[in-house]
Chains A and B, each alone.
Chain A
Amino acid sequence: MRATLQSRPDFNLTVRRTFLGLVSAGTCLVLSTPVVVLHAATFKAAVAKTEITPPPGLPMYGFFDRIKDNKLSTGTLDPLYARVLVLEVGERRLALVTLDLGRTFNESKLAQLRQRVKNLAGISLLVVTASHTHSGPNILDIYSGDRPPAWETNAVEKIAEAVEQASHHLVDAQIGTARGEVYIGYNRRRVHSDGKVTMLWTNPDKQPTTPVDPSVLVIRIDDRNGKPIAILVSYSCHPVVLGSDNLRYSADFVGTMASTVEKAFDSAPLCFFLQGADGDINPYYATTPLTDGAIAKRDWTGEQLGEEVVRVAKTVRANIPPEPTIDFADDVIPFRVRWNPRGFREGLLRIYGQRIFEDHADLFITDPPPERLDLHVTSLLLNKQIAAIGMPGEPFVNFQINWKDRCPVQDCLVLGYTNGYFDYLPTIEAAAEGGYGAGDSNTYVELGAGERMLRRGLVRVYEFLGKLSDAPERN
C-alpha cells in the first residue's frame, strides 16, 4: 500500500446542485455541473495499491477448458493488485479502482463496496474496472450456495481500506493528458469477402487487421511540485498472452507495462491500466504456450506499451485545473436477453454441460433464466476535459472509435469491464457478421445494447457540459 503523505487542506466553499438527469433510466445517479461556484474548489488526488492475489488452489478466469478440466491455480507468477485513485473536488469524491482481474465483482459485492467506501471515506462516486487478465482467479455473478470465495471477500475489504487510506492522504494536484500510438495487438475477427468470419486467435506474424485502435491515452496526475502521483493508461487489448496452460496468477502484459512505467519514474507514481473496448482485440502473441516463451512474449507486449506510455507521459504538461469539476452519472439500463432465454440455457447445458455455469454464463444457471439484464453505464467528466464511459462487459473496439469520434471533449476514453460484467458487447454490424463474442453464446445482451450505452454516455457528457438541458429553447 502506498499513499501520498500530505496534510489535507480545507475545502473551499462551493455551492452545487444535484442535476436531474434528462435521460430516463431504471435507476440513475447523476451528479453534475455546479450552478454557482463561489470559490473554485481545489483539485486533489491520492493513490493507494493493495495486493489481492488469492492463495493457490482456485479455479482461474477466462479459459473454459481450464475450468472444464478442473485445473486450479498453482501459485503466483506476478502479484495481482487493486490500484486506487481518489479524486476530490469540493465536496465530491471519486474513487477509481483498477483490478488485475478478469472482470469486476458481482453486483452484490460492488454494492457492498460502494457502501463501505461511502462510510469509510465519503466516496459518493465509485468506478471499479478490471484489466481483464485471464490469469486471475475466477469470478462469478452467482456462486454455488450463494457463498463467494473467501479471497473475494477479503479483496473487497482490502480495497475499501485502500480507498480509505488514499482519502486520508489527498494532496493538491494537477493534471494533464497526451496521446501516443503503439501496435501490440490486432483484431481477432477476420471478416472475409464472402461475409464469413474466422477467428485469428494468435498473430505472431503481426498481419495487419481492422478495425484496431492503436492509440494510447495517458493521463498524468502530479502533485503541485510536479512530482507524478498517478499515470493512467487507456488502451484496448485482451491481456491473454498467457494461455490456459498457465496456472499461475499474473496480470499478464498489464503487469509488465505498469512496472515499466513506474520504474521509469523512479517508482514515484502508481500506474493504472484502464482497459478499453478490447472485445475483439488480442495481443499478437495471444495464448503463447509457456513452453514457447510465453513469459518473454508477455514482457515484450507489456514493455512495448509501457515504453510508449513513458515517452508520452514525459511530454505531458500537467496543469492546475482553473475550475475543477467532477461530473458523474451511473445509469442502469434494462436490456432483454438477446436469445430466447430458455433455449439459450438449454443449449448451454446441452453443448457445454453444467460447468459452463462456472464460466461466463453463470447468470443463466437459474431456472427459469433471466429475461432482463440491468447494465450499469458509467459516465464521467473530469474538469470538463476528460470524458470516460464505462461499460459493464467486453465492448468491441468500434465502440471506442465511435466514442472518440462523437465525444465533444478532446480526451475521451472507454472503460470496459466497469461496474459489472455481462460478457461481450458487439456492434450490431459485428453481431450480424458473427464469430466469437459476436454471434455465439459468449454474448447474450440484447442487440444494440452497446450502441445505446454509448449514446447514453454521450448525452450525459453533453449534459455535464451544459449543452443539453431539460428546457427547450424559445425560438
Chain B
Amino acid sequence: MRPLLAVVDSYSSDRPQFTSVLAMLLLIFISGSVAMAAALKAGVTKVDITPTSGVPLWGFSDRKSSATGTRDPLYARILVLEAGDKRLALVSVDLGRTFGPSSLAQLRKATQRDISVLIVAATHTHSAPAVQDGYPNGPPGWESTALQKIVNAIEEARQHLRKAQIGTGYGTTNIGHNRLRVNPDGTVTWFERNLTRVPTAPFDGTVSVLRIDAMDGQPIAILVNYACHPVVFGSDNLQYSADFPTVTTRTVEDAFGGRLISFFLQGASGDINPYYAVTPLEQDAVEMRNWTGRTLGDEVVRIAKQIHTRPDDVTELQFAEDSIHVAMRWDPEKWRQARIAVFGSSDSNPFTTKPAEIALPVTTVLIDKKIAILTMPGEPFVEYQLSWRQRCPVPDALFIGYANGYNGYFPTIRSATLGGYGASNPATWLEVGAGDRMVDTAVIRVNQMLRRLHDLPEDFSKE
C-alpha cells in the first residue's frame, strides 16, 4: 500500500515574533462554558457527500484510474453539542483526509456565528475522492458541494438540538495489527497483511464508545473511537466506499433500530492496518471488509448497550485550539528526490512549496469535566493514543487523528529511528517528536480546564 502524499500549496503561519526558527506553542483560544443548571444538548445529522464517478481516488499511488462508481455512499456525519453558550460541531467525513486549509476556513466562516469550535475529522478510508490542501484551478466541484452540504447539515443539527445525556464505555476487539514489524536485528519489515492474525505490538485493541441519549434514554448518537486504517479495499477497488467503518456504523445503527447516527472516529492508526488489508476484489475483499466492520460493530453494540447515560452534575463544554509550530524534518532537496523515487515524478511538484516551518492545529475538548478529546492533523502512530490515554487526567480520553488538517505521518521518536513506511520515508515530513508535543499540549490544556494549572503561582494566593 502506498498512500498518496498530501498536497500543500497554500500555507500561513501565525508565528509569534520571538519564536525565530524554533517551533512553539501558541494559544489561539481557550474557552469554557459552565451551565450548572442548563442541560447538555445534542443534535445530529448525516449527509451524503459521495461525488460522481470520474474523480481520482485517494490513498494509493499505484491506482490506475479514477472512480468508476459507488459501492457504498460516503457521508458526513454531524454532531452538535451545546452547553450554555458554547457549541461544538464534530464533523466526521468518510474521506481519506480532511479538507485543505482554505476549505476548512470556509467551513469555519460559514458556521462561526453559531459554532464555537469545529472539528472536522476523516475516517481515512482509501476508497474516497482525493483531497488536496489546495488546487491550482480551484477546488473540484464535488468538494465545494460537500462543503455546502456540511454547512447546511451543521445548521440542521443545531436547529434540532435537544436535551441530552452522555455516557462512555470501553471494550476490546482485534481487527488489525501493527504493520511495521521490527525484526530482531533492528530492521523493519512492511507487514501489510496479517491473514493469520499473529499478535503484534504496539497495538491498541481498545474500543471507546461515547453514547449520547435523549432524556428518555433513547440513543441519539453512538460515537466509536478506534485505531485502524480503513484499507481492506486496495488499489484495485475503484468504487467509492467508506471501507469497514461503513459496516461498523451500519451494524450499530441497525442494532438500535436505526434511530440514531453512529460515528466512526479514527484514532492513532498511523501504523495500524486491518488484518485483511488490501484484499484483492477477486479474493472476497467485500466479505473481508464486512467481517472487519462487523467485528468492530458487534463489540460497539455490546458496549453501547451497557452504557447507562445520566445527566451530569456539571454541564460544561471547554475547548482550546492551539497552533504548534514545528520544523520540517528533511533536507528539502533530499525529500523531493525521495518523493519522486517513492511516489513517482507526477507527485513531486506540489511539495516544492512546503515551508520551513508548519503550524499544526491541535484541538482539545473537555465535556462536562470528564470526557477529553485530543485531535491531531495527520496520521499519528498508535503509541500516541496509548500515551494520551495514560496521561490524560480524566478517565475518558478520546483520540481523533486526521482532524482539522493533514500533515502526513506522526511517528514516535523511536519509530522514526527504526524506519519504515510513515516512520522515515517521504510520507512523513515533520520534525521528529511533533506528536509528543501535541500530546503534551493536550495534557496541559485538560489540566488547565480542570483548574489544576493556573496563570499565577500557587504561593501567590496564600497571602
> Is A455 engaged at the interface, CB distance under 8 Å to the other chain?
yes
Chain B residue at minimum C-beta to C-beta distance from A335 = B24
**Known contacts A23-B432, A451-B440, A473-B425, A440 near B458 by CB under 8 Å:** yes
Pick the contact of A406 from B330, B414, B459 — CB < 8 Å?
B414
Inter-subunit contact A334/B457 (CB<8 Å) = no
Contact present for A428 and B447 (CB under 8 Å): yes
CB–CB B393/A432 < 8 A: yes
Taking a contact as CB atoms closer than 8 A, the residue among B334, B413, B458 that contacts A458 in the complex is: B413
Q: Kindly supply a per-residue 1/0 record for chain B positions 323-361, scoring 1 wherever the CB is within 8 Å of any chain A CB and 0 otherwise.
A: 000010111001100100110000000000000110000
Cβ-defined contact, A26 with B444, below 8 A: no
| Interface assignment of B54: CB less than 8 Å from any CB of chain A | no
Say yes or no: A334 contacts B437, CB within 8 Å. no
Q: Given A471-B330, A474-B341, A431 and B453 touching (CB < 8 A)? A: yes
A344 at the A/B interface (Cβ < 8 Å)? yes
Q: Which of A24, A339, A372, A456 has the most CB of B within 10 A?
A: A24
Give the Cβ gap from B441 to chain A, nearest Cβ, in Å.
7
Q: Which of B24-39 contact A (CB under 8 A)?
A: 24-25
Stretch of A98-106, A126-134, A200-208, A462-470 that contacts chain B? A462-470
Of B334, B391, B441, the contact of A472 (CB 8 Å cutoff)? B334
Chain B CB within 8 A of A296 CB? no
- Return A349 CB to nearest CB of chain B, in Å: 11
Q: Is the CB of A428 within 8 A of B440?
A: yes
Complex contact A440–B330 (CB within 8 A): no
A343 and B461 CA atoms in complex are apart in Å by: 12
| B431 at interface, CB cutoff 8 A | yes
Contact A334 B20 (CB under 8 A): yes
Nearest B residue to A340, CB-CB = B455
Within 8 A of B (CB), among A436-475: 439-441, 443, 446-448, 451-452, 455-456, 458-459, 462, 467-468, 470-475
Q: Is the CB of B424 within 8 A of A473?
A: yes
Task: Decide yes or no whether B443 CB sits under 8 A from chain A.
Answer: yes
List residues of chain B with CB within 8 A of the CB of A333. Answer: 22
Complex interface: chain B residues within 8 A of A446 (CB)? 25
Please choose the segment from B192-200, B223-231, B415-423 that sits at the chain A interface, where 4 or more of its residues have CB less than 8 A away: B415-423
Cα distance A431–B420 in the bound complex, in angstroms: 36
Residues of B within 8 A of A351 (CB): 459-460, 463
Least Cβ–Cβ distance between B230 and chain A, in angstroms:
22
B431-463, CB under 8 A of A: which get 1 and which 0?
111001100110110010010111111111001
Count of chain B residues with a beta carbon within 8 Å of a chain A beta carbon:
55
Please report the C-alpha to C-alpha distance between residue A472 and residue B341 in the assembled complex, in whole angstroms. Answer: 11
Q: Which of B329, B426, B436, B457 contacts A22 (CB 8 A)?
A: B329
Least CB separation from A466: chain B residue: B417
- Given known A432-B393, A474-B342, contact A25–B21 (CB-CB < 8 A): yes
- For the complex, what is the distance from the CA of A464 to the CA of B444, rounded to whole Å? 31
Choice from A344, A458, A459, A475 contacting B456 with Cβ under 8 Å: A344
Bound CA–CA A24/B432 (angstroms):
11
CB-based nearest B residue for A468: B417
Interface positions, chain A 1-59, Cβ under 8 Å from B, are: 22-26
Complex Cα distance, B460 from A440, in Å, reads 8
- Min C-beta distance of B179 to chain A, whole Å: 13
In the complex with contacts A471-B331, A473-B425, A371-B447 CB distance below 8 A: no
- Chain B neighbourhood of A371, CB < 8 A: 18
B417 touches A448 (CB 8 A): no
The CA-CA distance from A471 to B456 in the complex, in Å, is 44
Q: Would A339 and B444 count as touching, CB distance under 8 A?
A: no
| B19 interface hit (Cβ, 8 Å) | yes
| Assembled-state Cα–Cα distance A23/B452 (Å) | 32
B154 CB to closest chain A CB (Å) equals 33
CA distance in complex: A462, B454 (Å): 36
- Decide if A429 is an interface residue (CB 8 Å cutoff): yes
Is B23 interfacial (CB-CB < 8 Å)?
Answer: yes
- Measured CB to CB, the closest approach of chain A to B386, in angstroms, equals 15
The listed residue (A25, A343, A372, A448) touching B440 by CB distance below 8 A is: A448
Q: How far is the CA of A148 from the CA of B430 in the complex (A)?
A: 43
Q: Is A149 located at the chain interface by the 8 A CB criterion?
A: no
Known A24-B327, A451-B436: A343·B456 in contact at CB below 8 Å? yes
Decide yes or no: A339 and B19 within 8 Å by CB, A406-B414, A448-B444, A467-B417 being known contacts: no
Chain B CB within 8 A of A322 CB: no
Q: How far is the CA of A122 from the CA of B356 in the complex (A)?
A: 35
A22, B425: Cβ atoms under 8 Å? no
> Considering only CB atoms, which chain A residue lies closest to B416 in the complex?
A468
Task: Kindly state whether residue A347 has any CB partner on chain B within 8 Å.
Answer: yes
Closest to B441 in A: A448
Is A336 on the interface with B (CB-CB < 8 A)? yes
Q: Are A432 and B452 in contact (CB under 8 A)?
A: yes
Q: Are B426 and A347 in contact (CB under 8 A)?
A: no
Closest to B190 in A: A475
Tell yes or no: A211 within 8 A of B by CB. Answer: no
Hey, which chain A residues are within 8 Å of B22, CB to CB? 24-26, 333-334
Tell me if A434 is interfacial: C-beta within 8 Å of chain B: yes
With most chain B CB atoms within 10 A of its CB, the pick from A371, A408, A439 is: A439
Residues on the A chain within 8 Å of B455, using CB: 339-340, 343
Q: Which residue of B lies closest to A352 (CB)?
A: B459
Binary flags per residue of B299-337, CB closer than 8 Å to A gives 1, else 0? 000000000000000000000000000010111001100
Q: Which residue of chain B has its CB nearest to the CB of A455?
A: B433
Known: A347-B460, A428-B443. A472 touches B330 (CB 8 A): yes
- List B contacts of A474 (CB < 8 A): 338, 341-342, 425-426
Residues of A within 8 A of B436 (CB): 451, 455
Residue of B nearest to A435 (CB): B458
CA distance in complex: A335, B342 (Å) = 38
Q: Would A24 and B431 count as touching, CB distance under 8 A?
A: yes
Contact B425 A26 (CB under 8 A): no
Among B341, B425, B447, B457, point to the contact of A441 (Cβ < 8 A). Answer: B457
Contact check, B327 vs A462: say whether CB atoms are below 8 A apart: no
With a cutoff of 8 Å between Cβ atoms, the chain B residues found around residue A344 in the complex are: 456-457
Inside 8 A of B431's CB, which chain A residues have their CB? 23-24
> When chains A and B are docked, how far (Å) is the Cα of A452 from the Cα of B25?
11
The answer on a CB contact under 8 Å between A347 and B457 is yes
Give the chain A neighbours of B23 by CB distance below 8 A: 24
The reply to whether A475 and B417 contact each other, CB–CB distance below 8 Å, is: no
Residues from chain B with a CB closer than 8 A to the CB of A335 are 24
Q: Please give the distance in Å from A347's CB to the nearest CB on chain B.
A: 4
> Is A339's CB under 8 angstroms from B453's CB?
no
A187 CA / B19 CA spacing, docked (Å) = 35
> Nearest Cβ in chain B — how far from A25, in angstroms?
6
Nearest chain B CB to A6 CB, angstrom units: 40
Whether A439 contacts B457 by the Cβ 8 Å rule is yes
CB distance from A160 to the nearest CB of B (A): 30
Q: How far is the CA of A470 from the CA of B334 in the complex (A)?
A: 8
- Complex A-B: 26 CB contacts under 8 Å: A22-B432, A333-B22, A334-B22, A347-B456, A351-B460, A351-B463, A408-B417, A429-B391, A431-B447, A434-B452, A439-B458, A440-B459, A448-B25, A448-B437, A451-B436, A455-B413, A459-B433, A462-B413, A468-B424, A470-B329, A471-B330, A471-B338, A472-B334, A472-B426, A475-B420, A475-B425
- List 19 additional contacts besides A347-B460, A448-B444; criterion CB under 8 Å: A333-B22, A336-B24, A344-B457, A347-B456, A347-B457, A406-B414, A408-B417, A428-B444, A429-B443, A431-B447, A432-B393, A439-B453, A452-B437, A459-B413, A467-B417, A468-B417, A470-B330, A472-B425, A475-B425
The 5 closest A-B pairs by CB, nearest first: A24-B327, A471-B334, A441-B457, A432-B447, A467-B417
